[in-house]
Amino acid sequence: MSLKNILLRTISQKNKFISLTASAVKVSNEEQYSHGQQNKNYSYKRRTVATALFSSVIVGTVLAEKSDKNKKKRKTGEKTLQAGEKRSDLPTFRAEEVGKHDNEESFWVTYKNGVYDVTSFLPSHPGGEQIMNAGGLSIEPFWNVYGMHKTEEVYALLESFRIGNLHEDDIVDHTDDELWVKEPARDKRLIVKTAKPFNAEIPPKLQIAYFDTPNELFYVRQHMPVPELDQSSHRVTVIVKNGTVRSKEFSLQQLSMFPKATVRAALMCAGNRRSEMNEQVKPVKGISWQGGAISNAVWEGVYLRDVLVYCGVDTQNTVGKHVIFTGSDIDATGVNFSTSIPLDQALNPNGRILLATRMNGRPLPPDHGYPLRVIVPGAPAVRSVKWLESITVSHDESSSHWHQKDYRSFNASKTWETADFASAPPIYSLPVTSAICDPAHGDTVAVSNGFVEVRGYAYSGGGAKILRVDVSPDCGKTWIQAEEMQSDDAPPQQHYGWTLWTARIPVERGQRELKLWAKATDSNFNTQPERFEDIWNIRGVLSNAYHKIKVQIKH
C-alpha cells in the first residue's frame, strides 16, 4: 500500500481520535476550580492495546545508527537531556506550523517541549502505518495507548530526530489521556464546550427540529470520564439509615419487577443560558452554555417511590431527610459523583421520579447514564444522577463537593468572598425559561407575507406547564402571543416535557432590522424576569431572563 493510500485511510481515523483526545478544547479554569478534576490520580485501569506490533529488532537497528551521538555525549560526561525537555539551542515552532508537516514528504511530531522531524523514520516504524495518525501532532496520546513506546531506547531514538521546541502556549498536558480514550463516540453536530470532561450542547436549530430530542443530539454534561458499566452485572444498592442501617441490592432484572413507568421529561442544566448572564452583566464561573443545555426525552424505568417503599422507608416521617444518589463516575481524589434531594420530594407521587434504563425507546447511551440513572423531572438536571450505583436515605444531604459547593442560590450582590454555601438553599426546582432557537442572533431572515416566523422552546420546573409564550418586536412595548405550541398532555403538577413554540411577527415594508424578545409564562403564572442584572449570581445558574436577539431582514 502506498503512503498516499495509507494517509487517506488514516485521515478519518485520525479525526476520530483527535475528537477523543486532548487537542480540541481544554477544560476551563472555572470548571477545574469548581470540580477539581485536573488531578491525574484517577484509578482507572490502564488501557492495553494488543493490536500494534512492536519489533525490538527494527528499533535496535535504527537506534544503533541514530543514537551514536547520544552515546558519545554520555561518554564525555555531558548532561543528557530528558526526552521532550526544552533545548535552548534550537528554534521554537508554533503548533500550527508543526501541524502542516503531516505527510510523507515532511512528517513532524511533538513530545512535551520537543519538535521532531521523523520523516526518514516513517518506513522503519515497527507499527507501520499507525504512525501516520500522529502527523503534525503530539505523539503522547498515542503512546499513552500504545504503551510499548515508553522505554529509554524509544525516547532516545525520538530525541535523535529533534529539530526544535514547541511554543510554550501550545504545550498540552497529555498525562491523563488514557482516562479518556474509552469515551463514547459522539455526534459531530453537538457543539463541544469542553472535551475532557465531555460537555456539549445541542445546536438551537436541531433543538426545535424534534419534540423528543434524538439520543445522539441530547446535550451532554459530564464532570468526569464516562465509566464503563455492564447492564448484566450492574447493581444498585438502596441504603436506609434510620437508627439502624439496612441495605438491599438490586440487579436491573430485579428492578424490572416493579411496575413499569414512563415519563416525558426535559432535562435542563441549571447553567443553561449562562453565557447571556455572563456577557450581559459580568463574568460568572462555569461552562459558557448558550441555550443548548436542555433537551427533551421519554424515559422508561420504575418509580423511585415504589423502590423506596419496598425497602421500608418511613413515608410518614420524611421532614429533614434526604435521598442521596451516587454515580459510578469518580473524581481525581476517588470520590464518586453524588448529590441529593429531600425525601419528601422523592416520595411525592406527582414527582414521578424514575430509576430509568431507557431513553426514547432505547437503552440509555453511555453518555446519558447507561445502564441506570435517576430522572428527577422538573429539577435541575444535576439531580438526575447517571450511572446510578447507590440510593441512600439519610438525615444528611449529600456531603459531596457537587452538592455542597455548587448548584445553590445566591443574590446578585454575593461574591465568591461573601457567599456562604453551607447556608444557601440547594436548587431543587427550576424557574420558567424560554429561548428563541430560529432565527439565531445575527441571522438574516426572510419575510413571508409580511411576517417573520420565530421558533423556540419554553420550559418550567417543578411540574409546571407552559401556558403562553410572548414575543415582543419592539423592546416590550407590544407582545405577540406564540400561536403554535407543541407540548405533552400531562396535567399541571406533573408536566415535565418542554414546549416548542412558533410565533409570527409582522414586519413593515422596508424594515431592515428586527429586535426580538421572548418570555414564557407557566401554569403557576410565573413569568421570566426581564433583566439579567437582577438575577445575576456568581455561578451563573438559573439564568432565565427574557431572551433578546437582533436579526437582519431580507424582503
Q: Which residues are the active-site residues?
A: 125, 149, 221, 269, 407
User: SS3 for 326?
Assistant: strand
Pick between residue 364 and residue 471 the one whose CB is nearest to ligand MTE. 364
- Shortest distance (Å) from residue 337 CB to ligand MTE: 4
Binds 329, which of Mo ion, ligand MTE, none (CB < 5 to 8 A, cut-off by type)? ligand MTE
Binds 142, which of ligand MTE, Mo ion, none (CB < 5 to 8 A, cut-off by type)? none
- Shortest distance (Å) from residue 335 CB to Mo ion: 18
Binds 498, which of Mo ion, ligand MTE, none (CB < 5 to 8 A, cut-off by type)? none
Q: Are 511 and 465 in contact (CB under 8 A)?
A: no
Binds 384, which of ligand MTE, Mo ion, none (CB < 5 to 8 A, cut-off by type)? ligand MTE
Binds 267, which of ligand MTE, Mo ion, none (CB < 5 to 8 A, cut-off by type)? ligand MTE
Examine residue 375 and tell whether it contacts ligand MTE (CB under 6 A). no
Nine-digit cell at 95?
Answer: 503548533
Using CB under 6 A, which of the segments 209-217, 311-319, 380-388, 488-496 binds ligand MTE? 380-388
Examine residue 224 and tell whether it contacts Mo ion (CB under 5 A). no
Of 116, 142, 146, 219, the one binding ligand MTE (CB under 6 A) is: 219
- Shortest distance (Å) from residue 207 CB to ligand MTE: 13
- Shortest distance (Å) from residue 122 CB to ligand MTE: 41
What secondary structure, in 3-state letters, does 133-156 show?
Answer: HHCCCECHHHHHHCHHHCCHHHHH
Calculate the alpha carbon distances from 446 to 450, 473, 484, 554 in Å.
10, 16, 20, 5
d(CA 17, CA 132): 12
Q: Are 284 and 406 in contact (CB under 8 A)?
A: no
Pick between residue 98 and residue 267 the one whose CB is nearest to ligand MTE. 267
Q: Are 481 and 470 in contact (CB under 8 A)?
A: yes
Pick between residue 387 and residue 517 the one whose CB is nearest to ligand MTE. 387
- Shortest distance (Å) from residue 402 CB to Mo ion: 9
Examine residue 519 and tell whether it contacts ligand MTE (CB under 6 A). no
d(CA 443, CA 455): 13
Question: DSSP of 367-405, one letter per residue?
Answer: GGTTT-EEE-TTS-GGGS-SSEEEEEEESS---SHHHHS
- Shortest distance (Å) from residue 184 CB to ligand MTE: 11
C-alpha angle with apex 123: 117 to 124, nearest 5 degrees?
A: 90
- Shortest distance (Å) from residue 423 CB to ligand MTE: 22
Question: DSSP of 340-361, one letter per residue?
Answer: EEEHHHHH-GGG--EEEEEETT
Examine residue 343 and tell whether it contacts Mo ion (CB under 5 A). no
Examine residue 353 and tell whether it contacts ligand MTE (CB under 6 A). no
**Those residues with Cβ within 8 angstroms of residue 506's Cβ, 6 or more apart along the chain or in another chain:** 450, 451, 473, 480
Listed residue (531, 472, 464) closest to 499, CA to CA: 464
Site for ligand MTE in 70-109 (CB under 6 A): none
- Shortest distance (Å) from residue 380 CB to Mo ion: 6
Using CB under 6 A, which of the segments 158-166, 385-393, 443-451, 481-489 binds ligand MTE? 385-393
Pick between residue 293 and residue 503 the one whose CB is nearest to ligand MTE. 293
**Those residues with Cβ within 8 angstroms of residue 486's Cβ, 6 or more apart along the chain or in another chain:** 211, 499, 500, 501
Examine residue 329 and tell whether it contacts ligand MTE (CB under 6 A). yes
Question: DSSP of 163-231, one letter per residue?
Answer: EEEE-GGG----TTGGGTTTPPP--TTSEEEETTTTEEE--HHHHTT-SSPPGGGS-EE-SSPPP---T
- Shortest distance (Å) from residue 555 CB to ligand MTE: 40
Examine residue 221 and tell whether it contacts Mo ion (CB under 5 A). yes
Examine residue 252 and tell whether it contacts Mo ion (CB under 5 A). no
User: SS3 for 303?
Assistant: strand
Pick between residue 384 and residue 390 the one whose CB is nearest to ligand MTE. 384
**Sheet containing 162-166: order of strands:** 92-93, 162-166, 114-117, 108-111
Examine residue 285 and tell whether it contacts ligand MTE (CB under 6 A). no
d(CA 433, CA 414): 23
Pick between residue 268 and residue 545 the one whose CB is nearest to ligand MTE. 268
Examine residue 223 and tell whether it contacts ligand MTE (CB under 6 A). yes
Question: Per-residue x/- mask for ligand MTE, residues 237 to 276, rule CB under 6 A?
Answer: ------------------------------x-x-------
User: SS3 for 159?
Assistant: helix
Listed residue (297, 305, 300, 306) closest to 357, CA to CA: 300
Using CB under 5 A, which of the segments 170-178, 262-270, 423-431, 460-468 binds Mo ion? 262-270
Which residues of this chain interact with Mo ion, rule CB under 5 A? Answer: 221, 269, 381-382
Which residues of this chain interact with ligand MTE, rule CB under 6 A? Answer: 218-223, 267, 269, 327, 329, 337, 367-368, 381-382, 384-387
